[in-house]
Amino acid sequence: MRKEQRKERRRLAAQAALGLAALGAASLLALRLGGKGRYDGRGIEARLARLERRLEQGVDVALIGNSVLASAVDADVLRDRLRAAGREGTFLAQDGAASAFWYLTLKNYLCRSARPPRLVVFFILRDELTDPTDRTTGEKSALLRAAGGAWEPELLRVLLAGYARERRGTEALLLVLRALWPPYACKPALRDRLFETLTEWPAAQLRRWERWRTLPTYAQARRALFPRWTPPAGGEPRDGASRPLPCGEAAFAAAVERSFLPAIERLCAERGMRCGVVRLSRRRDAGAGGEQGLEPYMQRLAARLRERGGCFLDLSAVEELDETCYADGIHLNERGRAAVTPRLATWIIEALSERPPAAEQEQP
């Protein structure tokens, strides 16, 4: 009798443990799918819908960027100045976006509009336009699907080639799986969170395996063993990566060909849009020296744009921009916006008038 009671207690304990485990797993999955503590694109669908409505109404200029654009431009002041000159504008400032998302926005929204804008302006801090894999991994890769890039051939071609050069096989695999992920049965936001939840742990293990199995190159090993007899590598490594800016002529040309910039320029030319770039600066780059290699890179980018009928504005040269104009190391505060927005509005009006923007002549 007692033996049967012990067996019954063990069976009930096992069932209770199994039930608690199932309940915990279901609760965790519900929290993850609900987006608790996860990057959710911050209203990307609503922003793209608003951009589409503005394009249907007809605009002369579209500003494309990320949180840097949102912090640098006073939307009310810019709108009033443009309307005073008989112009209309719109902008898409999506947090976490970079060149891959900008390319998809240009192709799937601006180029498909019945009334595309005459001028498209991209806001950059550094080499975002020539770094195709920047901000295309992890949860932020959901932006690519939101902009209609699940099966985009140019997107897959450029990103897969970039991951291959950087030896990031896990990211290439996740990109292909995300493209194959079934586009039905649930909302896009829920579908992306489900994909991230199911692939998070396996992807972390694959990244760990990639990191530890990769052997250093001969140059890296020599630099580590004999630093005194090894010349330093040129350029300063970019934030979060280990490669310098492509500031040399050959390096810049190669970086451009591997990026989305040629496709962006081609789409603009096909739809009669002028391509413009506005350069902002981080607080540490706004000084006299700036970052090593950054100025030559910007000069080559500006020259390429002008050769192809585009335009370039360097807002980092604004004298009023000092350390008191930044809310943090990157984003501008109200004082910074007051210094930047009027110059941006004047430059846009002159660019739309097909005259060389006066601000470009101040470039070093």
- 106: domain CATH number is 3.40.50.1110
Residues 227 and 312 in one domain: no
Decide which of 20 and 136 is more confident.
136
CA gap 91, 64 in Å, rounded:
6
CA gap 130, 128 in Å, rounded:
6
CA gap 162, 259 in Å, rounded:
9
Q: What range does the domain containing 231 cover?
A: 138-237
CB 68 within 8 A of CB 326: no
Residues 149 and 225 in one domain: yes
Least confident of 30-44, 180-194, 270-284, 291-305: 30-44
Written as one string, the DSSP assignment of 25-72 is HHHHHHHHHTTTTS---SSHHHHHHHHHHHHHH--SEEEEESHHHHHH
Residues 101 and 158 in one domain: no
Residues 217 and 147 in one domain: yes
Q: What is the pLDDT of residues 81-137, one digit of tens each?
A: 999 999 999 999 999 899 999 999 999 999 999 999 999 999 999 999 999 999 888
Check pLDDT > 60 for residue 242. Answer: no
Residues 212 and 283 in one domain: no
Residues 342 and 304 in one domain: yes
What's the domain count of the chain?
Answer: 2
Model confidence, pTM: 0.78
